[in-house]
Structure 1
Amino acid sequence: MALPRVTAILNQKGGVGKTGLTAGTGGALSERGRRTLLVDLDPQGHLTTEALGLAEVDPSEPNFAAALTGEFTGSASDLVVRHSTSAAGGVLDVLPHCVSMFLVVRKLHAARSPEHRLARLLQQFEGVYDHVLIDCPPSLDVLTDTALVAADGVLIPVQPSNTSLRALRLLIEQVAVIEEELQITRRELHGLVPGVYRRPLSGIAAYKMSELELYGISDGEVPPLPILAYLPLAVAVEEAWLSGKPLTDYHPTAPIADAYRRLATHLDVAAGLSPESALERAEESPEDTAQSGAEAGEK
C-alpha cells in the first residue's frame, strides 16, 4: 500500500474534539515508531498554537496557506516543522498554521481545481511519512473538500448530544455528495470517536451515546460506523495542551492515552503497517474506556 496513509479528522460541527483527536492520535502513532505529519487545515490554527505549542508561520515567509493557493511553488518539505521524535524512532512533524489561512477559502474559489490542491501538495511526501492526519475546519467548505480529496479515510469525532447527532447525519450525506460531485472513490469512514463529554453521563447523554453506538450496526446498505475509542473530558488532556505535548508523551500512563493508542493501532492496520490481530489486542470494553477516561481526568 502506498504511504503515507492520509486520514482526515472531520466534522462540520465545532467543539467536538477534532484538534485534540488529531494531536493525541498523532502522538500515539509517533510513539509506535511511525513517521507522522499533522496538517493544520483549520484557519483557527488551534492545532499549531494550542495543542502543540508551536509558533505560527510569518505570512511573509513560505507557508502552507501560500502553497495551497499557488503563491508558493517550492518544496513542501520546506514548510514542515519538526515537533518531536519518540524513543521508538517515530517523528511528529507539522504543516503549521499561518494567519493567511483565513484568506485561503476566498482565493481557492477563484482557482482552477481547488479541491485537488492539498492532494497534490501531499504527494510530495510519498514515502517520507507513514501517516498524515489532517485537522479539518468545522465547516463543509472548499478546505474540507481538499481534505476529502487528499484522504484515504476519515475519523469522525462526535459528542453524545442531539445537535452532534444531527450534524453527523448531515456529514455522512454530504461526504457522499462530495464524492459523487468530485468523482472520487468512496473514502473509508473508519468510525466514530465520542469525546468532549463529562462522566458520569447524564440520562440524556447516555441515551445519545446509545444512539451513536447504533451506527456500528450495518443495515446491509449503509456500512457500519463503529465507535473506535471514547475520549471524555480529562484534566490530563488540558495539561498536555498547556505543555505543548501530545498526551502519550506528557502523561503516557493516563488511561485516556490508551484510547489514542487504540486509534493509532486502527490506522496502522488500515495502512497495512500492523496485522489485523493488533486490533484484537487493543480492544477494551466501551464502558471501561469511558470510565477510565473519567478517572484520568480526575488525576
Structure 2
Amino acid sequence: MTSVSTTRGAGGPGAGGRHRRSELAAFLRSRRERITPSDVGMPPGPRRRTPGLRREEVAQLAGVGVTWYTWLEQGRPINASTQVLDAVARTLRLDGTEREHLYRLAEVPDAAPPDENENLPEDVQTILDALSPLPATVCNGRSDVLAWNRAYAAMFPGIVSAPPCERNTLWMSFTHPPCCNPVVNLAEEAPVFVAVFRHRYSLHLNEPGWRELVTRLQAASPLFARLWADHDVALPGPRTKVFRHNAVGEMRTRTTSMDIAGSPGARLIVYTPTDEESRERIGRLLDNPGAAPTDHTH
C-alpha cells in the first residue's frame, strides 16, 4: 500500500515545488515533535535525542512504510494517496485546518479535508467509557472507527488493533475471511451495509478518500463489488447483528446509532445484547481482555 515511488505531482518541478516540499517536511516534523509516546500509549523507551515521536513510530502507528514516511518528511517528491495521508493525519492528531494544510502541501489532486470532524468533543470518550459493559464506538460517515470503549475493544480486537487506514467496519466486514470474520450473519447484513454506505457516499462524491475506499473494497471483495454494482440505497436504522468471538462464541446485539452534535457525520453506535447469554459472553470478554480472537494465523 505504501511502496515508495516518485511523482511529479508531489511538489512538481522547479523552485515552487521544492519550496512546497520543504514546507511539508517542516510541518510534518513540527507535528510529530509535539506528540509524546505516552500520548499514543507507547512506553517512553531509552533517552530520546529529539522531542516527540520518532519517524519509525509514526510509520508504525499509521500503518505505512518507514521508508515512505521518511521520504515524505524529507520532502521528497513521492506518491501520497488520500487514504494514507488520512492515516498519517490521524496519527499526528491533526485538526481540520491542519489536515487541509497537509493535503495542500502534499498536492494531492482534488483533495479536500473530510467534512466529518474527527476531533471529537472531549466528553465523548467519557461517555463511551460510562456505557460499558455495553460495547460502543464512534464512527464517521465513511465507517472509520474513531473512538471506542473497553467492551468494544474486547469484542472487536481486530478493528482496534488495525492500522488507521484499515480501522473501518466495512473493511472488516468484507475483507476478513469467514473463519475470522466477526460478522456471523454477513449474507443477510451485507446488502444493508452497502446500501446504507451508498446513501452516505452520495453526499461525498467529489471526495477522494471516499472514492479510494470504494475502489479498495471493490478490489478486495467480490461480494462488495457485486452489491455496489446493484446501486441499492437505504437509510440507516436499528439492526440486529450477530457477532462471533473465538473465545466465547456468538453474541446477538441490537445496534442503536446517534449523531454527535458538533461533529458532522460522526455517530455514536451502541451494541445492546438481545439475550442474557449474549450479555454474559460480552461480560466474559471484559473480564478476560487478552482472550485470543483467533486460534490460528493466515
Regarding TM over 0.5, the answer is no
TM-score by length of 2: 0.31
